Chains A and B, each alone.
Chain A
């Protein structure tokens, strides 16, 4: 308890040290070390702290200092699990930033980046550890504020400023919802401490429902659920890449933390049917987010926007898991509820890891090619092989193919969806079957998205000079990515680590796995419903490979390999212009899901002379897709603004009218009082 408390102080100290020292080494050449090495140490200590908390008891201390609000720190398994995620990601990102932030060295205010970076991480950790509405909100907003400043870090570009503004406003809207929900709870419990929320006792159901809806909307805004996701692609795309890695891999999880805390800590989900619709709502929202997110990721051309939309998709998958767990719990199917919960938490962990990895890779690409548009890239795997390998690992992980970690969590999610037939309600089963259909479609489209991303940007010929003379990034950036890539592999093959971690963190009623027993689910008839044993799969794959290799050598004997041009139908060597582009690659799918994009394909012909329409000078083909959600938001905003505009017109500038207002106010109040409306 005590030494872990010192650890807490140490973590705080290191991040503040990083913030301050990076501020005071402004303009120096080595300022990156002053900024990011403390951050790395602090994140590492955070990992250690969370592991300690897993094994020993929770940390719960109250620092009262003669004020209205006491500062309470409470670190239980739930908190430490998320601290672990944040620590892991920020550790990798800090190391990555040692080289990456040199990108901004020509800007003199570079050290602000380091300071805000440290503040951002520590505010995230403080949000998780604080156990009091007031301080929770303070750190929550501090997190939003620092991340906002990081988003508009390159604020000379008016565009970044705009997207940052959208981010700030949306996240503040979310905060307003969270605040309202907490205050509803407070009105019942009469104290600002979360402890009072925990043992709030019997409160009317409608209060629970209202508070839940508000909290879900609030945290969902931060998590980027559809249709509140509008800010997310803009913000992630505008921020520097190490920051977008942090935002997507760390601060997004805080929203999930909030919802988990809310569902399973402030409310004890029991088998009362009124939690059922919570679960269903979460599932529905999750499915929609997953599908919409991946659909828009599919047609994007900006790497970071693609990754941002895929974050929305993964949040959707996580929410499907959470919702299922709530539904199962509300039918008192404990083991299934545990399964679904483990699935969603595992996916949270995995998403943090591979999304951090992918964003860092995107940063590397931007670092060495100075473009984020995948149409300009190509052939990078020969220019920057290590980055390419990491990106491939991230890709395989995120589309959930064996043998990496993404497969495990999606396997678990699918299994919990398949177990739906144990629910004693037909309507529910069928609807959840639809949800699983959506999920499967999402996975397929995600695969398409990332195949496109990897194939277009890393394979085939370089499409522009930017890509042609790219070089491999410095070693710190590689190291940062390598950490996450390796943990992708480890969690994929030794899945028992992740599962045991979650089981102990949330102390679920489930016996931890031993390394050599299969991850198996037993149906209610006692037969093995499903089982998985990744290490053996690896062994099989490897032995098959070896034997095939030998076989081919024996049968094939000695043969030579000679390099030559790609077959060009005899037209002379192919140019990079004849390759498939990202747009054309996704075109068939964009035609199938046309309602989301309203794709437009316009062909403009230029003739040598208007009289003769046969000789064409050139033909321009323009293929464009639209985003229906942004159009919806534009409509909404324009309506509400027109209302506001009418209200403010009362400031007419005529003094007579102003006096008239006073008289009207007086008389109406007198009338109201006289007729007893008020008082």
Chain B
């Protein structure tokens, strides 16, 4: 194994990657001063970003890295998830300073709540980072379940009826779903270790091991297991009709957390599906899992379209648009041609960027206007010019307007649909996209333009709320027609992994 040779540096990196949030969480717990904990969190998440980028760099170098005799395994696919986590994590920590600071000044939350928030923030980052780097599917499942618990804590931050309701639904539905996923995982473990029922050897649950032996699995059990997996992780990834918790949770969380939930956590859950998708394809060919992915994806996009059109609440609308985009990604994976998978992985990143931008903006907007209702929000471009501008850009990007990044990935996805001759699904997707365009566009333009209902003074909400959004807008513009070469190679490698589940290339 060549990975041993480099295990020195890479193992350190990975260790640092998961230790940084833990340590900063502990620091936050001990020194409870507002300014300090903010600084600590921002710094640590910046550190995570740096480590993530360095790790990506070495992934680009050695394709696959497996350390601590295969407990941690990282390849390009995990790299993509790590990028989104670290980037959005950093920016939303930056944004939290402003947002939670405001809540604090308005006496909506006290100091202890603030401490709890930052603890939760760090733990959330930790659990999410654990997902892509763990090789053992059981550990991955535990990590995903843990993200649920931590994010429920974060949603429970406010003692409001709506937030209690949202967190209860979230906890219940996500846990039920994930238990299904665990069913599937155990099934896979069973079919893997069916020949030698060696109790207690964890390696039978390692993804690498599973992929190795996939060809020998019993087809029926694999199908059964994958159905459990896709329904289970699909619940967490917000695929319809298991998405029902998502709008509640995402709209009730504090905006920086909503950004993390929508932009990153969904991808983590979907990452689980992807891993098992690879195993299934290696075992019984990709047709079965592709069909499932396409069906669930189409349903998600359709339901999201219907719900967006009539939406009254800004953040709920954004949440439903997350459902839509997860649907698009899963359809794209289901199409299963090269450019489609390329587009899907690109779309994961693009959606993370745009959606977090939108949630940041919506946070500032709802703080300024004191409401999340679309009907009461008018003329943002007049009351807060910069926020209004970025909100407009983000909105146009999310409904797939060129020259912004999402258009490119959606274009790739649709063309792959036609290339793989899934004409009907592709046309359905296009139809739903048009409906979503109409609905979302209507709300967006009504909010951004027009004249505000009550007169309010014309200013944005502080530099720290602006900077993250501007960064994201810059990314949106740049990636509209240009994908940096390293990212391209990363995505190409991971689509290679997805297409032909070989892990040694």
- Spell out A's residues near B (CB within 8 Å): 65-69, 134-135, 137-138, 141-142, 145, 152, 155-156, 158, 161, 164-165, 168-169, 172-173, 176, 179-180, 183-184, 186-187, 190, 192, 641, 644-645, 647-648, 650-651, 655, 658-659, 661-662, 664-666, 669-670, 673, 678-679
Contact = CB atoms under 8 A, between A and B. Distances in A.
Contact of B306 (A158, A644, A655): A644
Nearest to A168: B441
Contacts, number: 154
Contact of B396 (A145, A644, A648): A145
Contacts of B180: 662, 666
Contacts of B46: none
Nearest to B234: A665
Contact of B231 (A145, A186, A662): A662
Contact of B291 (A165, A658, A678): A678
Nearest to B430: A176
Which label, helix, strand, loop or mixed, suits the secondary structure of the A interface?
A: helix
Contact of B242 (A180, A192, A647, A665): A665
Given A141-B402, A176-B433, A679-B223, A659 B173 contact: yes
Contacts of A66: 485
Given A666-B180, A669-B292, A186 B244 contact: no
Interface stretch (B188-196, B415-423, B466-474): B415-423
Nearest to B434: A176
B292 A650 contact: no
Interface stretch (B2-10, B116-124, B146-154, B406-414): B406-414
Contacts of B197: none
Contacts of B441: 165, 168-169, 172
29 contacts: A66-B485, A68-B342, A134-B408, A137-B402, A137-B411, A138-B480, A141-B407, A142-B403, A152-B445, A155-B450, A168-B441, A172-B434, A172-B441, A176-B434, A180-B426, A180-B427, A183-B415, A186-B415, A641-B309, A644-B309, A647-B302, A647-B307, A648-B309, A662-B241, A669-B292, A670-B227, A678-B288, A678-B292, A679-B223
A225 B494 CA distance: 46
Contacts of B224: 670, 673
Interface string B465-494: 000000000000000111101001000000
A300 B273 CA distance: 59
A155 B430 CA distance: 29
Given A650-B241, A661-B244, A665-B241, A183 B414 contact: yes
Nearest to A173: B434
Contact of B227 (A158, A165, A666): A666
Nearest to B295: A678
A515 B342 CA distance: 59
B450 A158 contact: yes
A665 B176 CA distance: 13
A678 B419 CA distance: 21
Contacts of B485: 66
Top 8 nearest A-B pairs (CB, nearest first) are A679-B288, A647-B306, A658-B244, A138-B402, A155-B449, A183-B418, A648-B306, A644-B306
A134 to B, nearest CB: 6
A662 B177 contact: yes
B365 interface: no
Contacts of A169: 434, 437-438, 441-442
B235 A662 contact: yes
Given A176-B431, A179-B414, A180-B430, 8 more contacts: A161-B450, A169-B441, A645-B310, A662-B231, A662-B235, A665-B231, A666-B231, A678-B295
A156 B448 CA distance: 11
B396 A134 contact: no
Given A659-B172, A662-B242, A665-B231, A644 B310 contact: yes
A651 B415 CA distance: 32
Contacts of A141: 401-403, 407
B435 interface: yes
A187 B445 CA distance: 35
A659 B176 contact: yes
Contacts of A67: 481-483
Contacts of B244: 650-651, 658, 661
A164 B288 CA distance: 45
B382 to A, nearest CB: 9
A383 to B, nearest CB: 34
Nearest to A177: B430
Given A141-B407, A142-B403, A645-B310, A172 B437 contact: yes
A145 B247 CA distance: 30
Contacts of A168: 441, 445
B34 interface: no
B32 interface: no
Contacts of A648: 303, 306-307, 309-310
B223 A645 contact: no
Interface string B202-230: 00000000000000000000011001101
Contacts of B451: 156
A165 to B, nearest CB: 6
A137 to B, nearest CB: 7
B332 interface: no
A659 B309 CA distance: 25
A164 B441 CA distance: 11
A666 B449 contact: no
Interface in B297-328: 302-303, 305-307, 309-310
Contacts of A183: 414-415, 417-418, 426
Contacts of A644: 305-306, 309-310, 435
Contact of B421 (A155, A187, A651): A187
Contacts of B230: 669
A138 B481 CA distance: 9
Q: Which of B339, B403, B483 has the most CB of A within 10 A?
A: B403
A85 to B, nearest CB: 24
B113 interface: no
B368 interface: no
Contacts of A186: 415, 418-419
B421 A666 contact: no
Contact of A134 (B247, B292, B411): B411
A138 B407 contact: yes
Contacts of B241: 650, 661-662, 664-665
Contacts of A664: 241
A417 B178 CA distance: 70
A168 B399 CA distance: 12
Contacts of A134: 408, 411
A624 B227 CA distance: 62
A662 B480 CA distance: 37
Nearest to A182: B415
A192 B415 CA distance: 9
Contacts of A192: 415
Contacts of A670: 224, 227
Given A142-B402, A186-B419, A648-B307, A669 B227 contact: yes
Contacts of B431: 176
A179 B411 CA distance: 9
Contacts of A678: 288, 291-292, 295
A449 B465 CA distance: 56
Contacts of B449: 152, 155, 161
B168 interface: yes
Contacts of A665: 231, 241-242
A184 B421 CA distance: 9
B126 interface: no
B414 A669 contact: no
Contacts of A666: 180, 227-228, 231
B33 interface: no
B412 A68 contact: yes
A36 B135 CA distance: 61
B446 interface: yes
Contact of A658 (B245, B302, B426, B434): B245
A544 to B, nearest CB: 59
